């Protein structure tokens, strides 16, 4: 899956034409885009990480990336919400999957980091499809090697800043504590978005605050509205290099039943998409979307929402790449 160093084509190669080849035909690459080996190099690599050994409740997110790809067959090349044709502005390609050891979390984390190093080393940005939230740590390590400590917007029902589970330091509930400890996050520009539900104790919140995180709860989004929340997040991030990490359980189970640890009272898919669009002026250097577990998904509700969120993130990166070349 390592890309070649050949120059990108002058005109980006876009998706298969759905007016000529039915959407249900052919391989399910993200948005029916070309594979990385078909274009040689890319500006944005969409890559899967089929790994869910770090989950604490329901497994199945190892199948999330391919479920998102299947749902993304319905995406179209023009994004009216952002007035952009992302796949014409920059080359976007499906880089396949990072194959990580499902029996050894430490080894898997190292493998993911090394593969991300290879992709980012070509100059590409990454849109990663998980997999469970454990994978965010190696991805952030790799991004920080290139950009230094990055701002983080973490969309999730949960804090994911706990210390250990059963003595294990690397799980889907611990990546952002480890990232703060390793100095790869800009602690002046961190925020959770969409958190809700019971915690182990108030110390969870005080520890989280000490790490530098701000919190926008799902109730805050409901009461204050998406425009005000997006403005708050933009101000917190400023012009810093930004990494966005989305756990699909940030959505209410009505909008995302197919996930491992659902919590009542979450965002709607519309609220999530509108907040992402409100971040289009931020310097988005890479992103991930995790915890889609298709075994619990009804009629692909979760996968469809995830594919649209990934599309909005990819559009933001494509617009920024095109602007930097203008």
Tens digits of residue pLDDT in 163-197: 999 999 999 999 999 999 999 999 999 999 999 99
Neighbour count for residue 45 (Cβ, 10 Å): 26
How many whole angstroms separate alpha carbon 105 and alpha carbon 87? 35
Tens digits of residue pLDDT in 65-83: 999 999 999 999 999 999 9
Tens digits of residue pLDDT in 112-161: 999 999 999 999 999 999 999 999 999 999 999 999 999 999 999 999 99
Q: How confident is the model at residue 8 (pLDDT cuts 50, 70, 90)?
A: very low
DSSP three-state, residue 290: strand
How many whole angstroms separate alpha carbon 36 and alpha carbon 53? 27
DSSP, residue by residue, 209-246:
HHTTEEEEEHHHHHHH-HHHHHHHHHHHHTTSEEEEEE
Q: Is 118 annotated as a binding residue?
A: no
Q: Is 249 annotated as a binding residue?
A: yes
DSSP, residue by residue, 37-91:
HHHS--SEEEEEE---TT-SS---GGGHHHHHHHHGGG--S-BTTTTB-HHHHS-
Q: Is 207 annotated as a binding residue?
A: no
| Mean pLDDT, the chain, integer | 96
- DSSP code for 8: P
Q: How confident is the model at residue 48 (pLDDT cuts 50, 70, 90)?
A: very high
Q: Are 140 and 154 in contact (CB under 8 A)?
A: no
Q: In sequence order, what are the residues at sequence separation of 6 or more whose Cβ sits closer than 8 angstroms to the Cβ of residue 113?
A: 138, 139, 141, 142
**Is the pLDDT assigned to residue 9 strictly greater than 90?**
no
Tens digits of residue pLDDT in 281-326: 999 999 999 999 999 998 999 999 999 999 999 999 999 999 999 8
**pTM as predicted:** 0.96
Q: Are 162 and 177 in contact (CB under 8 A)?
A: yes
**Is the pLDDT assigned to residue 63 strictly greater than 80?**
yes
How many whole angstroms separate alpha carbon 41 and alpha carbon 277? 27
Angle between helices 64-71 and 301-325 (to 10 degrees): 80
What's the confidence (pLDDT) of residue 3?
43
Q: Is 160 annotated as a binding residue?
A: yes
Q: What percent of the chain has pLDDT over 90?
A: 96
What's the confidence (pLDDT) of residue 7?
46
Q: Where are the domains of the chain?
A: 30-325
What's the confidence (pLDDT) of residue 298?
87
Q: List the 125-130 sheet strands across, edge first.
A: 92-97, 44-49, 125-130, 283-290, 241-247, 150-155, 185-195, 213-217
| Cα separation values, 295 from 269, 298, 303, Å | 20, 8, 11
DSSP three-state, residue 158: coil
Q: Is 192 annotated as a binding residue?
A: no
What fold does the segment set 30-325 form as a domain? 3.40.800
Structure tokens at 313: 């993130």
DSSP-derived pairing of the beta strands 125-130 and 44-49:
parallel
Neighbour count for residue 31 (Cβ, 10 Å): 24
More confident residue, 8 or 36: 36
Q: Is 297 annotated as a binding residue?
A: no
Single out the residue of 128, 101, 40, 98 nearest to residue 314, CA to CA: 128
């Amino acid at each position: 899956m390592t890309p070649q160093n050949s120059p990108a084509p002058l005109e980006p190669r876009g998706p298969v034409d759905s007016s000529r080849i039915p959407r249900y035909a052919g391989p399910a690459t993200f948005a029916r885009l070309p594979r990385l080996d078909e274009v040689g190099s890319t500006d944005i690599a969409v890559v899967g990480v089929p790994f869910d050994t770090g989950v604490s409740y329901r497994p199945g997110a190892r199948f999330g990336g391919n479920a998102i790809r299947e749902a993304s067959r319905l995406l179209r090349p023009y994004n009216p919400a952002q007035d952009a044709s992302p796949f014409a502005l920059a080359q976007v390609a499906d880089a396949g999957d990072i194959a990580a050891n499902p029996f050894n979390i430490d080894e898997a984390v190292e493998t993911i980091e090394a593969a991300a190093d290879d992709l980012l080393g070509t100059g590409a940005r990454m849109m990663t499809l998980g997999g469970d939230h454990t994978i965010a740590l190696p991805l952030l390590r790799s991004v920080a090697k290139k950009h230094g400590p990055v701002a983080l917007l973490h969309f999730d029902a949960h804090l994911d800043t706990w210390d250990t589970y059963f003595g294990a330091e690397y799980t889907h509930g611990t990546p952002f504590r480890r990232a703060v400890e390793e100095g790869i996050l800009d602690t002046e520009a961190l925020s959770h978005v969409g958190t809700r539900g019971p915690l182990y104790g108030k110390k969870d919140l005080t520890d989280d605050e000490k790490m530098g995180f701000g919190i926008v709860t799902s109730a805050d989004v409901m009461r204050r509205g998406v425009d005000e929340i997006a403005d708050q997040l933009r101000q917190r991030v400023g012009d810093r290099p930004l990494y966005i990490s989305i756990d699909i359980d940030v959505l209410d189970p009505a909008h995302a039943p197919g996930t491992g640890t659902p919590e009542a009272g979450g965002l709607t898919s519309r609220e999530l998409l509108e907040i992402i669009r409100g971040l289009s002026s931020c310097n988005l250097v890479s992103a991930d979307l995790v915890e889609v577990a298709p075994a619990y998904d009804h009629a692909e509700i979760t996968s469809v929402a995830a594919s649209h969120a990934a599309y909005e993130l990819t559009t933001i990166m494509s617009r920024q790449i095109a602007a930097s070349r203008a």
